[in-house]
Amino acid sequence: MKIKVWDLPTRIFHWLLVLAYVGAYFTSESEWLLEYHAGAGYIALGLIMFRILWGFTGNRYARFSDFIRGWDEVKSYILRMLRSDIPRFLGHNPAVGWVVLFMLLITAVISLTGIVVYGGEEGRGIAAGFFTFKTAIIVRIIHLILADIAVVMIVTHISAALIHHFILKENIIYSMFTGYKEDMESWSERVSHMKAGEGLSVVRLVVGIFVAILGGLGLVYLPPEGKTDFSKEKMQVMDDKGFVVELKHNKKWVDECAKSCHIGFHPNLLPASSWEKLMSGLSDHFGEDVSLNENIQKEILDYLVSASAEHSVSEASKKLMYSIKDGDSPIKITDIPYWVKKHSEISDEVYKRKSIDSKSNCIACHSGSEIGSFEDRDIHIPKE
């Protein structure tokens, strides 16, 4: 006999949350998909709010009172599980009940921290204007760590569902679509020929969980290396009114600064005060006299200031600004604390490689450097 366990709202909630997670995961790496990422986060938060209410007013198996049990029951379930004598529950078992609650809460916190970061870093979303950039940077770390934990949690959740389906012969996967499970009697009749723990050992369980965690970490830490086509990318800059507009390199800058002795160091790599200091000292420019006529010098300085780190929408610019002490105006990019820390693990040997040659050859590893793009996924360190 079949018995209805998961009511329709609970099932719809479950699969919408799956979609929200999938959407958020695949839009998390790209700045350009950030709106969609944020959208998925808002949807997830709304779903969690619904699920919490439904936990009080849903059907029997959807209610917290059904699956949030005391420590004694949880302990007894875990002990029986360790002896491979796993009791069956129609709804959530006592151990997983707390995990479900944890999953709901962590999802809510991930969404909320995301909203804070979106408001603080991008100035967008319902929290725009409420949080500073500095707050957002710290909250972002929490957001990322929790998101990593969520990936591990999801992989474990799917593994557990597979264990229940294939090893314990309990049809919990289909039940999340149809809502129905076998009742206790027909199930125990069907699996009665199985000895307790048949097909399942603690070792397998441990191995399964271990693989699940490794798989989760793999998904998080092994994203595919990007191959951005920078000839097609457009540069962006924030104008004085705070609008993000397209940036085009100034022609004089290209001729004098990008086509002469060194690669073009993008204006977004130094704050305006640094560019002013640097451009007023061209007669001794890192030991060389590179004086320009007054008009060209002014035109280039104006360009540099209009696209300086303060006007940048890139993460690297914001972080290097954040690392520079108030009142400092470094003119050497490789002296900026953020640069130093970010490159601290790269040995001197790497800089000596033929295709790199010096620390100032940004473009050797950051193929988007001349358009001011330093995204992690585009870093490629040549082997020789």
Partner 1 sequence: MGQKIYFVLALAFVVLLLSNIADAGNLNAQMQSLMDKHMKDSGEKSFSAEEGGKLYYIKRMHSEKKEEISCISCHMDDPAKEGKTPVGKPIEPLSPAVNKGRFTDPEKVEKWFKRNCTGVFERECTPKEKGDFVTYMMSLQ
Positions in the binding site for partner 1 (CB under 8 A): 260-263, 287-291, 357-358, 360-361
Of 106 and 292, which has the nearer Cβ to partner 1? 292
Q: What are the CB-based long-range contacts (under 8 Å, 24+) for 318-326?
A: 318/121, 318/133, 318/137, 319/137, 320/269, 321/271, 322/133, 322/134, 322/137, 324/271
Q: Whole-angstrom Cα distance, residue 283 to residue 139?
A: 44
Compute the least distance from the CB of residue 306 to partner 1, in Å: 25
Q: Which of 158, 161, 120 is nearest to 141 (CA)?
A: 120
Compute the least distance from the CB of residue 383 to partner 1, in Å: 18
Q: Whole-angstrom Cα distance, residue 243 to residue 161?
A: 48
Of 287 and 327, which has the nearer Cβ to partner 1? 287
Judged on CB neighbours under 10 Å (0-12, 13-18, 19+), 83 is exposed
As given in the structure block, the two tokens for residue 273 are 């005060």
Of 185 and 384, which has the nearer Cβ to partner 1? 384
As given in the structure block, the two tokens for residue 116 are 């804070």
- Compute the 3-state secondary structure of the chain and give helix, strand, coil in percent, each to the nearest 5: 60, 5, 35
Of 30 and 360, which has the nearer Cβ to partner 1? 360
Compute the least distance from the CB of residue 360 to partner 1, in Å: 5
Of 217 and 363, which has the nearer Cβ to partner 1? 363
Of 31 and 357, which has the nearer Cβ to partner 1? 357
The number of beta carbons lying within 10 Å of the beta carbon of residue 68 is: 15
Compute the least distance from the CB of residue 307 to partner 1, in Å: 22
Of 135 and 361, which has the nearer Cβ to partner 1? 361
CA separation, residue 299 to residues 38, 250, 296 (Å): 39, 8, 5
Compute the least distance from the CB of residue 262 to partner 1, in Å: 5
Q: Which of 278, 283, 320 is nearest to 301 (CA)?
A: 278
Question: Beta strand pairing status for 180-182 and 235-238?
Answer: unpaired
For the chain, state the CA radius of gyration.
28
Compute the least distance from the CB of residue 344 to partner 1, in Å: 21
Compute the least distance from the CB of residue 288 to partner 1, in Å: 6
